[in-house]
Amino acid sequence: MREARVEFVLFVVAALCALGARALARPEAAPSLGAPLADGMRIVVWNVGGTGAAARSAEGAALHADHVAAVADGLRGFDFDLACLVELQDAAQARALAQLIGADVRVLPSPGDRPLALLARRGRLSGTRALPRGGAKRPTMVARVRSDRLGRDVVVGALHASPWSATERNAHLGGLVDALARTADDAPRLALGDFNLEVQTEGRQDLFTDDAHLDLETYGYVTRALVDCGRAAGATATPDRRLDYVLASEALAVAKVVVVRGRRRGDMDHDPLVVDVRLARSR
């Protein structure tokens, strides 16, 4: 009977340890989006394409015409300053969306891929150009946006990286970072888009890539120059993957970052990533 007490004690300790672990792992409440900063800039990155399940396509699908209004509603609700929309149907769809929202728009045509668009509100886009491809097959857009709330020009690079090739992602993202670094003036810099790479600290990271180590090399190269604003925000795509990024130079400080759930329509597989930045205090 006395010996049975030892088992009882072990079970009690097991329960206490489990309760202790639960108490220590209290999850932080997800921040609510709220209103944008009066002296900041709200940035949205959203891959609005779908899995292609409806069209029985293995290559995914662009934003369906039926969902344009819902996406426009969502973007209006975010009250954004700069948005990067990935996997649109075509330039006409991007312009129609911009008209619904009342935004300035620039579209990056992408032969063999669905176009990407930059939309600006309370500011103007200028100096839009596509970067020379280099080793990447997909294009990169670089533009300058005048942000009224920030009171400054910001240089923005945007791209939709290859989901299939880590080598191509390396060339694509490395080229963008180098191009931003070569910008002549001291304007803050942003790199936006669906980069199709992820850095995991749990679970296997080799299940969705042809070269997990190369993706880490790429991420390491990119984050040596720019700050990954959405690092702590969680997954942006199915299944539990963080593929969409807002990267900022040190001239910008992250004020808030939220992955907004519940805005997908149809077979969409990404959630919008919303980031508020403001000018960092000079050191």
- By the criterion CB under 8 A, which residues form the site for another protein? 3-4, 6-8, 10-11, 13-15, 17-18, 20-21, 24-25, 135, 167, 170-171, 173-174, 177-178, 199-205, 207, 214-224, 228, 231, 239-241
As measured in angstroms, the least distance from the Cβ of 224 to another protein is: 6
Map the chain to HEC letters. CHHHHHHHHHHHHHHHHHHHHHHHCCCCCCCCCCCCCCCEEEEEEEECCECCCCCCCCCCECCCHHHHHHHHHHHHHHCCCEEEEECCCCHHHHHHHHHHHCCEEEEECCCCCCCEEEEECCEEEEEEEECCCCCCCCCEEEEEEEECCCCEEEEEEEEECCCCCHHHHHHHHHHHHHHHHCCCCCCCEEEEEECCCCCCCCCCCCCCCCCHHHHHHHHHHHHHHCEECCCCCCCCECCCECCEEEEECCCEEEEEEEECCCCCCCCECECCEEEEEEECCCC
275, 257 in Cβ contact below 8 A? yes
As measured in angstroms, the least distance from the Cβ of 180 to another protein is: 13
Q: Which residue lies nearer to another protein by CB, 124 or 261?
A: 261
As measured in angstroms, the least distance from the Cβ of 53 to another protein is: 18
Q: Which residue lies nearer to another protein by CB, 1 or 38?
A: 1
As measured in angstroms, the least distance from the Cβ of 200 to another protein is: 6
216, 200 in Cβ contact below 8 A? no
As measured in angstroms, the least distance from the Cβ of 121 to another protein is: 31
Q: Which residue lies nearer to another protein by CB, 98 or 254?
A: 254
Q: Which residue lies nearer to another protein by CB, 1 or 35?
A: 1
Q: Which residue lies nearer to another protein by CB, 24 or 29?
A: 24
As measured in angstroms, the least distance from the Cβ of 7 to another protein is: 5
As measured in angstroms, the least distance from the Cβ of 215 to another protein is: 8
Q: Which residue lies nearer to another protein by CB, 17 or 54?
A: 17
Q: Please report, as a single letter, which amino acid is at residue 158.
A: A
Q: Which residue lies nearer to another protein by CB, 55 or 227?
A: 227
